[in-house]
Amino acid sequence: MKAIKNIGLVFFLIGLAIFTGSLFTGSFSLSEQEVVAFVESKGYKSEIIKEKLTKAIVTDESLNIFQFSSRVREAYKASNDHYDALIARYDAEKNWDKKGAQFQYKIYGKSHTLSYEVAKIAGSGFVKDNAGLLWWLTFGLAIVGALLFILPNIVLLGKEGIKNNGIYHESSTNRGWIAWLVLVYLVTFYLVLYFMPDYAVNWTYILDPISKSLNGGEASQWFVYGFLYCVIMIVMAARMYIKYRHNKYQVIRTTSVLFFQIVFAFLIPEIMTSLNMPGYDFKNAFPLDYDFFFEWNLDSLRDSGAIGLFILVWGIVLTLIIVPVMVYFFGKRWYCSWVCGCGGLAETLGDPYRQHSSKKLVSWKLERWLIHSVLVFSLIMTLVTLYCYFTGTESFLGIKSQWIKDTYSFLIGAWFAGVIGTGFYPIFGNRVWCRFGCPLAAYLGLVQRFKSRFRITTNGGQCISCGNCSTYCEQGIDVRAYAQKGENIIRSSCVGCGICSAVCPRGVLKLENGPEAGRINPTEILLGNDVDLMALVNQNNAK
Amino acid sequence: MEHIVIIGNGISGVTAARHIRKLSDKKITIVSAETDYFFSRTALMYVYMGHMKFEHTQPYENWFWKKNRIELKKGYVTAIDSNNKSLNFAEGDTLSYDKLIIATGSKPNKFGWPGQDLNGVMGMYHKQDLDNLEKYAPNKNVCKRAVIVGGGLIGIELAEMLHSRHIPVTFLVRENSFWNGVLPEGESAMINREILRSNIDLRLGVNLKEIKGNTNGKVTSITIAETGEEIQCDVVGLTAGVSPNVDFIKESDIEIGRGVKVNRFLETNVQDIYAIGDCAEQHEAIGSRRPIEAVWYTGRMMGETVAQTICGNRIEYKPGHWFNSAKFIDIEYQTYGWVWAQQKENESRFYWEHEDGTKCIHINYDKNSRTFIGINTFGIRMRHQFFDKVLTEKQSVEHVLEHLADANFDPEFYKLYEREIVSKFNQENGTNIQLKKKSWKRIFA
């Protein structure tokens, strides 16, 4: 069994190495005709970009993606610099007409994104030519390897039950060097994905055939991300199923997040795209779906006829009615640990790291400040965007619409949710984003805290303060602090994953939806201690 | 300002300190020689098993004590001078008090076995025991086999701990079946099976004769009294129960029996000195409870109670209906009310066991009045509040079975066995109890 695990690990690492190594392969260049065709297809007005690009990438040299990217970005920069210089010159000459005429020649966009578009058509080499084989050598090998590593646990973990043995002895789960390596890999991955997609263009080649069969188009870096996301969740869900096979709540919950990720977040949008509809994730509620009210999305929905209108109405109803009503009946868990994609990754890939969330009081304070700030930020951004959209102005309340959207997308959308949210799993735990950053979680949390039937019931006086519940709470709730006082746990941040209840050795905790009366139960003296309570109450009142 | 000194920073002492602080502004000092901060003794096993780090066993962050003006003093009390109201420390210094709470807990029993003080022989009670185990049994290479002597809760926990590091364990149990002084036959047999299923070498009905060591004073083997068999081992766990940790009081004026003798107000014979928790011994047992109860929650309750008394609201210690819980490797156990190992004259029993042999319930009731007396539940979680109410209201066994769905405390979606249980009861007793549907209204009433 151990040997199978080790073989699996080797397979996985080889797959991962080939996957990573594939980025460094292939050569990138275009012919003159291709450059012309590309520039025309993009509708660039710049008169020199064609020449610059031709000089940069029409070559017999074998450029790798990094050299290629650098040349392409140079070309775009040279073109823009050229017109900037003209703008500066006409500005100095106070020739406003000519100055104004130059702006149309500038090419806007992030340099790596522009470069990605060229690279996508410029690549050639083994990876692109052998996408199927490469899929097996990367995804295939890593999936098989990971499963070989995970499946023997059915036997190795022993009988059904909580098996957290050795978690704090292993480098990977105790913030050792393996954990740090994983962090570096994940962070790098997200930096590439969000900020340097051109570097990852080889990955898109591997998935082109699958993308074409699903939506008719070639794979983008977002397709790669979505596909990878699903694959990782499926494989790590297998791990969850084995680890918690005695716990039906965990099994059903894992199935639920898996279903919503694969069907709602991945397949349905892909199929919609293939039908020329806007690809929409029907479970992704605003304000987590922060660009729902961005101009481009509203325009795209407006131009998509009936389905567009339906999506618009659904998105609003989802946030304003479905989400709070469901939270009232079931707590925010229905979303955060049963439906949500971020939650889904956290509960599968992130499960081995759940113990790293900080339980300190200062973290709780930070959490409340941060998450509510992000909520306010997202609402202000949306307000500004919508105002500007409907009035046609560029700013509102002195805030520029484009600026606030860019800032939010960069700080919250990319850095907080992605790079930190997932990249830091191995060190800060699997719910950093959900706990400190997600504006939707903040909204759900407010409903859960003040108007909900959900609570974690504490079973009278049975708690022995062992601390398993707090240790394994991914949201950093000091569950024990409540349990040992006989108090129910009512916290806005609780995502209802149910692990506190699972790891409790004394059967103290139970997630329940019940009547609101008595949901919050501050207790002076715990159940089981039959002091004369009336005397105690009178005594307290007398003071 | 009145100075309250508490000896012992376990659950009893710390609970007393917290509640005294809630109720008053008195100066509070907690004395301990074991650790700087309060930790949960019951969680030591999880540190060795790698579920947690030691810091996770501490329920309060380190700033908590200063913020609540609870002074912590590390020191070993050697004597109590009740005439001068002062404590003497092994370190040479003294500390004076106005009121003293003795909350020194227990220590593992040793019965004078030859070799019981060798290196590698240890209990599993103190933080130091954990450090010792880490030293002598870090893995299966250093510790090729461990022998555990004494079949109680700590014994089986120690077996589980060692097993988690793949160290072969021989488990010597004096009784003919595990913990059968407390558990009835069916439950006890279930735990025997659970132990064997974990590949632990369980030896029932045997006693330790002696522990042998090498010239370095380290344990090398043990001998079994009944068979004379010698078992090579590197660690011996002595888990034959605990007794009050009161040796340092023997020279004082405070009356002790096995523990510190206290009345129902937790007062000792000496004015202004109280004793709570494992080390306290009631003059007369309360209800069916034992005079000394080494249980987590009774320590906590005594702490809650003594705080009231010290803060001017003198109240009796009144533990309510008996309850307890434990986990035997993978089988959770809860009990509410009394289910004695041996059925009493007036009692009738109902036992249901699931076919997989890892879940059961055992109900005890009065055969004449049919009043519910208690329940043991294994592998099924039950609601404390439900049974507390049932016991207070002196409800019948039929009432309990009828409302069994309200009692269930298992996580959502778990398979429910109430129907099966009730139908077995009906079959055996010729009754026609109809299981009622779970009702939130009743549960939260």
Most B-contacting residue of A1, A155, A531 (CB-CB within 10 A), to test interface:
A531
Neighbouring residues of B129: CB distance < 8 A, sequence distance ≥ 6:
B44, B108, B122, B123
Are residues A468 and B52, on separate chains, in Cβ contact within 8 Å? yes
pLDDT at A158: 86
- Residue A517: pLDDT band (50, 70, 90) is confident
pLDDT at A541: 52
Query: Could you give the 3-state DSSP secondary structure of residue A7?
Result: helix
Task: Please check the confidence at residue B254 and state whether its pLDDT lies above 60.
Answer: yes
Two structure tokens written together for A168: 């704090």
Q: Could you tell me if B264 lies within 8 Å of chain A, comparing CB atoms?
A: no
Are residues B388 and A502, on separate chains, in Cβ contact within 8 Å? no
Task: Please check the confidence at residue B79 and state whether its pLDDT lies above 90.
Answer: yes
Tell me the β-bridge partners of B222: B211, B231
Return the ∠ at Cα B318 (arms to B316 and B321), rounded to 5°.
Answer: 175
Q: For B174-192, what is the mean pLDDT?
A: 96
- Asked if A253 and A338 touch (Cβ cutoff 8 Å), the reply is yes
Residue in B with minimal Cα distance to A500 = B411
pLDDT at A543: 47
Give the number of C-alpha atoms closer than 13 A to the C-alpha of residue B207, restricted to the C-beta side.
Answer: 7
Q: For B305-326, what is the mean pLDDT?
A: 95
Q: Which residues of A touch B383 (CB under 8 A)?
A: 459-460
pLDDT, tens digit, 9 for 90 and up, residues B14-53: 999 999 999 999 999 999 999 999 999 999 999 999 999 9
Are residues A506 and B382, on separate chains, in Cβ contact within 8 Å? no
Are residues B304 and A531, on separate chains, in Cβ contact within 8 Å? yes
pLDDT at A532: 62
Q: For B68-88, what is the mean pLDDT?
A: 96
pLDDT at A520: 86
Task: Please check the confidence at residue A406 and state whether its pLDDT lies above 80.
Answer: yes
B58 vs chain A: nearest CA distance in angstroms? 8
A466 vs chain B: nearest CA distance in angstroms? 5
Q: What backbone torsions phi and psi does residue A69 show, to the nearest 5 degrees? A: -60, -45
Q: For A115-133, what is the mean pLDDT?
A: 94
Neighbouring residues of B79: CB distance < 8 A, sequence distance ≥ 6:
B87, B88, B248, B251, B252
Residue in B with minimal Cα distance to A514 = B440
Type of residue numbered B173? V
A127 vs chain B: nearest CA distance in angstroms? 44
pLDDT at A60: 87
B83 vs chain A: nearest CA distance in angstroms? 32
Question: Between residues 306 and 325 of chain B, which touch chain A (CB distance below 8 Å)?
Answer: 308, 313, 315-316, 318-321, 323, 325
Question: How many whole angstroms separate alpha carbon A533 and alpha carbon A531?
Answer: 6
pLDDT at A539: 55
pLDDT at A540: 54
Are residues A481 and B440, on separate chains, in Cβ contact within 8 Å? no
First-last CA distance in chain A = 66
Q: For A361-389, what is the mean pLDDT?
A: 96
Are residues B388 and A470, on separate chains, in Cβ contact within 8 Å? no
The one-character DSSP state at A349 is: T
pLDDT, tens digit, 9 for 90 and up, residues A432-491: 999 999 999 999 999 999 999 999 999 989 999 999 999 999 999 999 999 999 999 999
Residue in A with minimal Cα distance to B337 = A528
Q: For A62-90, what is the mean pLDDT?
A: 94
Q: Could you tell me if B442 lies within 8 Å of chain A, comparing CB atoms?
A: no
Task: Please check the confidence at residue A155 and state whether its pLDDT lies above 60.
Answer: yes
Task: Please check the confidence at residue A263 and state whether its pLDDT lies above 60.
Answer: yes
Task: Please check the confidence at residue A46 and state whether its pLDDT lies above 90.
Answer: no
- Do the strands B347-353 and B360-366 form a parallel or antiparallel pair, or are they unpaired? antiparallel
Q: For A375-387, what is the mean pLDDT?
A: 96
- The label of the residue with tokens 């064609």 reads A50
Mean pLDDT of chain B: 96
Full 3-state SS string of chain B: CCEEEEECCCHHHHHHHHHHHHHCCCEEEEEECCCCCCCCHHHHHHHHCCCCCHHHHCCCCCHHHHHCCEEEEECCEEEEECCCCEEEECCCCEEECCEEEECCCEEECCCCCCCCCCECEECCCCHHHHHHHHHHCCCCCCCCCEEEECCCHHHHHHHHHHHHCCCCEEEEECCCCCCCCCCCHHHHHHHHHHHHHCCCEEEECCCEEEEEECCCCEEEEEEECCCCCEEECCEEEECCCEEECCHHHCCCCCCECCCEEECCCCECCCCCEEECHHHEEECCCCCCCCCCCCCHHHHHHHHHHHHHHHCCCCCCCCECCCEEEEEECCEEEEEEECCCCCCCCCEEEEEEECCCCCCEEEEEEECCCCEEEEEEEECCCECHHHHHHHHHCCCEHHHHHHCHHHHECCCCCCCCCHHHHHHHHHHHHCCCCCCCCCCHHHHCC
Q: Which residues of A touch B313 (CB under 8 A)?
A: 535-536, 539
Neighbouring residues of A208: CB distance < 8 A, sequence distance ≥ 6:
A131, A218, A219
Q: What is the pTM of this model?
A: 0.94
Between A169, A461, A515, which is nearest B50 by CB?
A: A169
A328 vs chain B: nearest CA distance in angstroms? 16
Nearest one of A227, A190, A186 to A205, comparing CA atoms: A227
Q: Which residues of B touch A161 (CB under 8 A)?
A: 329-330
Two structure tokens written together for A357: 């969330």
A285 vs chain B: nearest CA distance in angstroms? 26
- Asked if A341 and A405 touch (Cβ cutoff 8 Å), the reply is no
Task: Please check the confidence at residue B168 and state whether its pLDDT lies above 70.
Answer: yes
Between A249, A468, A532, which is nearest B413 by CB?
A: A249
Mean pLDDT of chain A: 93
pLDDT over 70 percentage in chain B: 100
pLDDT, tens digit, 9 for 90 and up, residues A196-211: 999 999 999 999 999 9
Residue in A with minimal Cα distance to B265 = A531
First-last CA distance in chain B = 44
- Asked if B283 and B263 touch (Cβ cutoff 8 Å), the reply is yes
- Do the strands B106-108 and B219-224 form a parallel or antiparallel pair, or are they unpaired? unpaired
Most A-contacting residue of B22, B44, B309, B325 (CB-CB within 10 A), to test interface:
B325
More confident residue, A270 or A523: A270
pLDDT at A518: 82
Nearest one of A293, A115, A311, A133 to A221, comparing CA atoms: A115
Question: How many whole angstroms separate alpha carbon A163 and alpha carbon A161?
Answer: 6
- Asked if B124 and B157 touch (Cβ cutoff 8 Å), the reply is yes
Find the length of chain A: 543
Are residues B198 and A526, on separate chains, in Cβ contact within 8 Å? no
DSSP H or E stretch at residue A399: strand A399-400
Are residues B296 and A464, on separate chains, in Cβ contact within 8 Å? yes
- The label of the residue with tokens 């809630």 reads B22
- Residue A87: pLDDT band (50, 70, 90) is very high
Task: Please check the confidence at residue A226 and state whether its pLDDT lies above 90.
Answer: yes
ipTM of the complex: 0.95
| CA distances from residue B164 to A165, A521, A524, B48 in whole angstroms, order as listed | 6, 38, 39, 9
Task: Please check the confidence at residue A290 and state whether its pLDDT lies above 80.
Answer: yes
- Residue A538: pLDDT band (50, 70, 90) is low
pLDDT, tens digit, 9 for 90 and up, residues A394-404: 989 899 999 99
Q: For A151-161, what is the mean pLDDT?
A: 92
Question: How many whole angstroms separate alpha carbon B381 and alpha carbon A512?
Answer: 14
